[in-house]
Each structure stands twice: as structure tokens, then as C-alpha cells.
Amino acid sequence: MFTCWFIWKWRNQFIFTDNKELPSYPQRVILYAINDWIASTIIPSGKKPKMLIPLAWELPANGLFKLNIDGSRKTLSGAAGAGGVINDSMGEWNGGFAVNLGKGQILEAEMTEADELHPLAGLIASCRKLMNMLNVHDINHIYREKNRLADCMATWTWDYANLILCLLGLD
């Protein structure tokens, strides 16, 4: 394949340009190209191949519900909030929440683990209890672009105007 391609390239160069010179060692040129191609296509051990990920919200499987949650923090003021949205397999809204967490760090707003003294410990314990009652549940990280409404709900808790911009896609 490489040999044919280079012969074709050199032929066209000879016919259509003023450059009538061919490489002194055409075999080397072809072998270097082959080695470069092989090196670029082999995935080094320990590295995962890159994958394209669609960044749009996805419906849950038929008959299931999806709870998307997110945390948000306003950098300058430290205002933090969390929001969540429940949708069914038709994409219909089934409920949601938005809670202002006061001032804090993003880790607190995005938190998944809490001890008994944390202000959200009761909410997290209730979520765990409900999940244990369900036959099917799964927890996954998703990108903000796939979680836009929950992100807007969390942001709304510290700035109502930002919710409007978020929902209009102008933020």
C-alpha cells in the first residue's frame, strides 16, 4: 500500500511539477513512512484509546427513572448549591430539588460521602435508603453537558438570574 502510494506520488511530482528528482533511497523513505504509521497506530501499554462521547442527556431505559444531580459554587462569593432532576424513560419531568448550601467549597456541593455531622447527612442517608429499596440502580459520573438541567438547578440556588440564562443556553 505504501509502495504504491509513493510511486503514484513520485510519478505525479515528476509529471506535474518542475521537480524531476526522485529520492536517492526510495526504499528508506517508504520504510520510514511505514514505521511512522505503525508507531502512530499502536497504543502504548497502560494508555486507553481515545473515544468520542456524545455530550447530550440520554433517556433512561424503558420503565426506569433517572436522577441527575449536580453541585455548584460561585467563585467570588463562595455561595454553594445543589440541584437534582428526576425524569422517566419518556424524558418527562417527575420531580426535582434545589438547595442553597450557604457558603462553602465545591467539594461540599458535589459531595457523595458525608458523616453524621454534615448538614446534608440526612439527605444522603435518605438517598441511600431509597436506592437500597430499588431493584435496579446504578451510579455514574456524567459530564456537565449531559447534566445541564441539574447544573442549572444547582446554580439557581445562589443566583436566580443565572437559572434563566442557563435555561436559555446563554450562560
pLDDT in the model for residue 167 = 63
Q: Which residues of the chain have pLDDT under 50?
A: 112
pLDDT in the model for residue 116 = 63
| Residue-wise DSSP of 88-143 | ETT--EEEEEEEEEEE--HHHHT-----TTSTTHHHHHHHHHHHHH-SS-------
pLDDT in the model for residue 112 = 42
Q: What is the pTM of this model?
A: 0.51
With beta carbons less than 8 A apart as the criterion, state whether 85 and 93 touch.
yes
pLDDT in the model for residue 92 = 92
- For residue 158, the SS3 value is coil
Smallest CA-to-CA distance from 30 within 47, 58, 10, 51 is with: 10
pLDDT in the model for residue 168 = 65
Angstrom distance (rounded) from CA 120 to CA 112 = 10
pLDDT in the model for residue 17 = 82
Residue-range domains of the chain with CATH:
2-41 (no CATH), 65-168 (3.30.420.10)
| Residue-wise DSSP of 25-58 | -HHHHHHHHHHHHHHHHSPPTT-PPP-----S--
pLDDT in the model for residue 136 = 65
pLDDT in the model for residue 148 = 83
pLDDT in the model for residue 1 = 83
pLDDT in the model for residue 105 = 66
Angstrom distance (rounded) from CA 165 to CA 37 = 47
Residue 148's H or E segment, with its range, is helix 148-156
pLDDT in the model for residue 18 = 78
In degrees, rounded to 5, the angle at the alpha carbon of residue 65 between the alpha carbons of residues 59 and 71 is 85
